[in-house]
Structure 1
Amino acid sequence: MARIRDIRIVALEFAVPDDQAYGMARGLTARRGGAIIVVETDEGIEGIGESWGPPRITAEYLRLVKAYFVGTSIFAQRGVAQTIFAKHYHFGIQNQLVSLLSGIDVACHDAMGKVLGLSVADLIGGRQRERVAAYASGGYFTATGNHETTLAAQLEPHVDRGFLAFKIKIGRNPAEDEKRVALARRIIGHDALLTVDSNGNYTFDGVMESIRRIAPYGIHWYEEPLAPQDWKGYAELKTRATVPIATGEALYTVFDMKRLIDGRLADVVQPDLALCGGLDVARTVGILCAAEHLRISPHVWGTGVGLAAAVHFVASLPNYPHSDNVPFPTMVEYDMGRNALQNDIFQEPIQFKDGYLEVPKGPGLGVTLNPEVVARYTVS
């Protein structure tokens, strides 16, 4: 049985000029980064995963917990992670430790698939489909230029690419939200789904005013309307909002995810596999969502490794409670922001065509890093 011989981190960063920074209501960034987690087995097989957040902090947590993993089976990563939580419970679960464990989990699944000759989708539930729907995630606030002009410039190139849905950033103030939503609707037309994301920048009263203004434009979901831990706010919002609510990208481990799902505090649950606990937790979240008849749509905003994991995860999900006719397919977030870490780091990127991402067919995640490109963006 393949055992873990070593775990290492490859820290990546892609930067744009400061005047080309882009982002959300809480702020902009000129840098995109991520930590690629590499799990090496005693048989020479390597699995890759992704850990969200600052790689230097992730590396310090790896120094703490690596000994727990070395020598164990790649199939036993779940038990090791639970042991770490039990022994180091004082550290909490909203931190880079959980992001690290998420990346290790995905890397172990990649290695498992390579050992068994199975894709991750087949490994975690059976491949239910060969391609998954993707929504165009962008519509960012920008550092320079007229915000309506830059929003249009971000949306227009993708209107004819077959996307089922588009997402734009809002959340700086309700009046501006309405202007951005009205413009987006004019550009993408009435057939495409439109979702919005305020990244938790509002208090309850601000969200209600924002919803009042934008609901007439046909909002498919309103993402992160409140801060992640505003549990009472989400409970009240669910009874008063006139648009569907989506959240979950900033929740770590199954514990907070379960609280969100059990309370039916969102219509669409959005785990991020690079920080929620990896594929193991995502599978549990998927089961819990099915039990509560809630939709799920994984958040992706890092490197292509996290995107590959999300594609395999969605490919493994059954259509329940639907059968022949699925009103809205489960969608993967496909970032339209400038980010070389998404596709350029692979020898062959995940293929996109007519609004869908093809599920890689090779063993494990089915993607291979391009060493030269990875070296170009590696930082110490």
Structure 2
Amino acid sequence: MKIQNIEFVGLRTPLPSPAVFSWGTAEERNVGLVRVVLSDGTEGWGETSVTFPLWSLEERAATVRGIAPLAVGSRLESTDDIARIASELIRSTNRLRLLWSATGISAAIGAIEMALWDAWGRVQGRPVWEILGGADTDIPLYAVGFGGSPAEVADTATGLLEGGYAAVKIRAGFDPEADVALIDAVSAVAGDRLYVDVNMGWTRLQASEMIPRLNPFGLGWLEEPLSRDDREGLRALRDLAEMPLAAGENCYSESELVALAESRLVEVLMPDLARVGGLGAAIAGARAARANNQGYSTHHYASDIGFAAMATMCAVVGNPRPILRDVSPWPIRSELLSEPLRIEHGVARPYAGAGLAPAPQPHIIEEHRVL
């Protein structure tokens, strides 16, 4: 059996209300999918990370179309072939990664690799987590994607925690006084079940000023306080922070993710399958974290195709910290799939059908497709 075709499918939908991050505001959201078709007609679907900027959808479409010919025609007869194809794509694009965009290329390869796993699971008639020796297990979730005044956010957090979510996460990296006021309000109801994500929004100086102010809140973790490449700055913060630090979602290669785990600069490693290069790279990073006595929490901020892949990874590696569940109003997240995922009362279980995730619904793709 061979890979017959690789196609990029780009969707875009308006948001009911803008999503605000320390690096910008999004009024629309993208979904970047890759469809692989095998020579026997089997399809597999993967997802890439195209949240922001909005034009990343066009960039990723061009990247997937550019590298797809390197994989089309390749043999797919075992799980080893998936790893081989992904490795060949990485090796074949090494110079291009240096000349242009390592991030976009890794994210494109990750979507292709996920689609290959999905297709292989369908060929075998088994869930991918089962093929990889994983277990059908409960996966705790934390909720993110809700806003309002500090009092409103605290009320929403209370409801989510009472509804079964293991934790809640809010975003910071804006005005320092507003950040502290929000954290104060939510920590009063969440305690150490509150995670704070700065989205790389602080300089070293800002972080050194803010962390002592946040230490008394006893946060569950502080996420991405600095730029992804500032390891020395992170090392300095490690001595300053009394709360666990989390990072890794913006690692764009297996080697970078594993190196972060082995540095022991964070207590929680956060692999993002749609960015780091796919399921295999994310599993390697999570296993490196566990080998270095760290926790891991997979990251995915897009549709439920990628979420299902994230749950598969957790079923294979086992014992994750709570993982991200976006609860913001965005109907396509779940409507895209032909059947709902197993998520109830703040707990997920891996997809029980063949492949990585339920197949997307053609009419939803048709309604929102822009590329």
Matched ranges for 1:268-307 at <5 A: 268-307=268-307
Number of the residue aligned with 2:329 = 338
Give the Cα–Cα distance (whole angstroms) in 2 for the partners of residues 313 and 88 of structure 1.
25
Q: Post-superposition shift, 1:149?
A: 5.4
Q: Post-superposition shift, 1:230?
A: 0.6
The reply on whether 1:361 has 2:368 as its aligned counterpart is no
Which deviations, in whole Å up to 9, do the C-alpha atoms of 1:39-98 show, x marking residues without a partner? Answer: 110111111100112232122222322222112133423323333333332222632111
Q: Post-superposition shift, 1:151?
A: 3.1
Amino acid at match of 1:12: L
The reply on whether 1:38 has 2:40 as its aligned counterpart is no
Given that 1:274 and 1:306 are in contact with CA atoms closer than 8 Å, whether structure 2 keeps it comes out as yes
Q: Post-superposition shift, 1:157?
A: 4.6
Amino acid at match of 1:116: Q
2:68 to 51, 66, 69: 66
1:118 to 119, 123, 126: 126
Change (3 A) 1:316 1:77: closer
Give structure 2 stretches of 5+ with no counterpart.
Answer: 51-55
Amino acid at match of 2:368: Y
Q: What is the Cα-based RMSD across aligned positions, in Å?
A: 1.9
Given that 1:69 and 1:77 are in contact with CA atoms closer than 8 Å, whether structure 2 keeps it comes out as no
Q: Post-superposition shift, 1:333?
A: 0.5
Q: Post-superposition shift, 1:287?
A: 2.0
Amino acid at match of 1:28: T
Q: Percent of aligned positions with the same letter in both sequences?
A: 26
Number of the residue aligned with 1:254 = 254
Given that 1:14 and 1:340 are in contact with CA atoms closer than 8 Å, whether structure 2 keeps it comes out as no
Change (3 A) 1:310 1:282: same
Q: Post-superposition shift, 1:154?
A: 4.8
Q: Post-superposition shift, 1:138?
A: 2.3
Number of the residue aligned with 1:324 = none
SS class of match (1:364): coil
Given that 1:106 and 1:278 are in contact with CA atoms closer than 8 Å, whether structure 2 keeps it comes out as yes
Number of the residue aligned with 2:82 = 77
Amino acid at match of 2:138: R
Q: Post-superposition shift, 1:116?
A: 1.3
Give the Cα–Cα distance (whole angstroms) in 2 for the partners of residues 336 and 237 of structure 1.
30
Give the Cα–Cα distance (whole angstroms) in 2 for the partners of residues 84 and 311 of structure 1.
25
Give the Cα–Cα distance (whole angstroms) in 2 for the partners of residues 252 and 68 of structure 1.
20
Number of the residue aligned with 1:13 = 12
Amino acid at match of 1:344: E
User: What TM-score does the superposition give when structure 2 sets the normalisation length?
Assistant: 0.91
Give the Cα–Cα distance (whole angstroms) in 2 for the partners of residues 344 and 371 of structure 1.
11
Give the Cα–Cα distance (whole angstroms) in 2 for the partners of residues 229 and 170 of structure 1.
19
Give the Cα–Cα distance (whole angstroms) in 2 for the partners of residues 86 and 16 of structure 1.
38
Number of the residue aligned with 1:97 = 105
Matched ranges for 1:1-380 at <5 A: 2-16=1-15, 20-53=17-50, 54-74=56-76, 75=79, 76-92=81-97, 94-124=102-132, 126-140=133-147, 147-148=149-150, 151-152=153-154, 154-155=156-157, 157-186=159-188, 188-190=189-191, 193-319=193-319, 329-380=320-371
Q: Post-superposition shift, 1:332?
A: 1.7
Number of the residue aligned with 1:326 = none
Q: Post-superposition shift, 1:251?
A: 1.0
User: What TM-score does the superposition give when structure 1 sets the normalisation length?
Assistant: 0.89
Given that 2:35 and 2:115 are in contact with CA atoms closer than 8 Å, whether structure 1 keeps it comes out as yes
Given that 1:200 and 1:228 are in contact with CA atoms closer than 8 Å, whether structure 2 keeps it comes out as yes
Amino acid at match of 1:253: S
Q: Post-superposition shift, 1:189?
A: 4.0
